[in-house]
Amino acid sequence: MTSLRVGAATDVGRRRHNNEDSMLVADRLFVVADGMGGHVGGEVASQIAVAAMGEAFTAGGTVDDLVAAVRTANQAILARADADPSLRNMGTTATATALVDSAEGEVLAVAHVGDSRAYLFRDGHLSQITDDHSVPQELLRAGQLTEAEAAVDPRRNQITRVLGLGDPDPDLQTVVPYVGDRLLLCSDGLTNEVSDAIIAEVLATVADAQEAADRLVAMANDNGGGDNITVILVDVVDDDERAERASESLAAMGGLDREAPHRLLSADERNARLRDLARDDRTDDPWTDAPATAGAAGTVRSLEPSEVDVPARRITARVVVFVLALALVLGGAAAAVGWYARGAYFVGVDRGRVTIFQGRPGGLLWFDPTVAERTDIAESQLRPADVPDLERGKEEPSLGAARDYVRLLRERVAGGDVGASGAGDRGSPEATTTTAAS
């Protein structure tokens, strides 16, 4: 069973009078919502969103259930805005993660609409895993703005997708949880004030999830607190030994640190380990002096540095251990590169069709991507906005995630292509509205 530890904090900030952010910390569901619109609209919208999602999503849910919960929240906001004209333009972002059951076991699904964010902190590295649905970021992805232009674009606050306006169309992805992973959900009140590098430093140094969440909020306030700030930090504290299983083969090769089984050694650590192994040989010339004895071979049974340090039967044993260790470390590194190169999937285009590849876009060293699955979606059917992503290769952490993305593309194709059926789909909410009005 995957188990999580969670820290969460929300704060009005230094400039605003009320907190329009809302958050939900439930058993297996975590949501950050940043409301907007009107006088009290923002507050109401974000509160409705988290309440509706909390009710709609129950334990044992799947990725689809999470998406359904997002849509339910959207309907709830629309219904409320319909009933109260003063709330007509309200909306909210929603970045939600849920521990869901999938074919790959329990995974963290992330559904996202708007410009709140989810980050994954893994192995000391922070990566933003959601795209901001804001005007400059959409233009950046379409290749019409540079990163530098997007960063200072005044339209940063114009959100292109929200709950409470038409079809929310959430982005969706899954993260296979490993012990030590930290998933951060936050509103833009944090990311406008605190850089990714500083966030990473806090996550690397503050072990307690609640303490880390409080620290991030305090930093945003110290830097100005221009907006409401909300932070949820989800720590994976038990992954059902997934990490250990995944790394067994690598650990056997000596390429892994045994204390953190899924963590690869850094270059410095590898060098330090090699230096330890080589230390006592420095004054000898290991390549010429070889009085091999049968006894020496007995020493070569372990690669533990402590054993190598035993001063008896010097040269030969040490030379053999050193060379073996070097070979194993290099072998481990090669295996690790292969594991990294082949450990991901991406969605691209091959022979005019959307195709799932295993590997990294463009390949890595001698590992070329291979076709994992072909689909019947033609490139010409795609929304223009999706094409650049696919031409670059849309990276996904797993085959399941790649399939989810393809499914999303397929929905978009179906939605955009057939106007009549699209309108028909939207008929059911209308029916609901009619019932409510009568």
Residues in the chain: 438
User: Which lies closer to Mn ion via its Cβ, residue 2 or residue 19?
Assistant: 19
Write down the least CB distance from residue 137 to Mn ion, Å: 15
DSSP letter at 265? P
User: Which lies closer to Mn ion via its Cβ, residue 36 or residue 408?
Assistant: 36
User: Which lies closer to Mn ion via its Cβ, residue 188 or residue 404?
Assistant: 188
Write down the least CB distance from residue 263 to Mn ion, Å: 34
Going through 262-410 in order, the beta strands assigned E by DSSP cover 345-350, 353-358, 370-378, 394-396
Residue 238 pairs in a beta bridge with 3
Write down the least CB distance from residue 307 to Mn ion, Å: 57
Write down the least CB distance from residue 61 to Mn ion, Å: 27
Contact residues for Mn ion, defined by CB under 5 A: 34, 187-189, 227
C-alpha 359/C-alpha 339 separation (Å) is 9
Write down the least CB distance from residue 186 to Mn ion, Å: 10
Contact 402, 396 (CB under 8 A): yes
Write down the least CB distance from residue 228 to Mn ion, Å: 6
User: Which lies closer to Mn ion via its Cβ, residue 227 or residue 404?
Assistant: 227
User: Which lies closer to Mn ion via its Cβ, residue 13 or residue 180?
Assistant: 13
Write down the least CB distance from residue 18 to Mn ion, Å: 12
As to burial, measured by CB atoms within 10 angstroms (0-12 exposed, 13-18 middle, 19+ buried), residue 236 is buried
As to burial, measured by CB atoms within 10 angstroms (0-12 exposed, 13-18 middle, 19+ buried), residue 412 is middle
Token couple for 284: 């000898």
Write down the least CB distance from residue 138 to Mn ion, Å: 18
Going through 12-68 in order, the beta strands assigned E by DSSP cover 21-25, 29-36
C-alpha 12/C-alpha 189 separation (Å) is 9
Measured in whole angstroms, how far is the alpha carbon of residue 61 from the centre of its chain? Answer: 20
Please give the helix or strand (H or E) that residue 331 lies within, else none: helix 314-342
Write down the least CB distance from residue 164 to Mn ion, Å: 15
Report residue 135: phi and psi, to 5°. -55, -55
Report residue 358: phi and psi, to 5°. -100, 135
User: Which lies closer to Mn ion via its Cβ, residue 15 or residue 125?
Assistant: 15
User: Which lies closer to Mn ion via its Cβ, residue 12 or residue 200?
Assistant: 12
What type of residue is 32?
V
User: Which lies closer to Mn ion via its Cβ, residue 12 or residue 387?
Assistant: 12
Phi-psi bin for 84: left (phi > 0), alpha (psi -120 to 50), beta? beta
Helix 242-252 crosses helix 314-342 at what angle (to 10 degrees)?
A: 130
User: Which lies closer to Mn ion via its Cβ, residue 22 or residue 355?
Assistant: 22
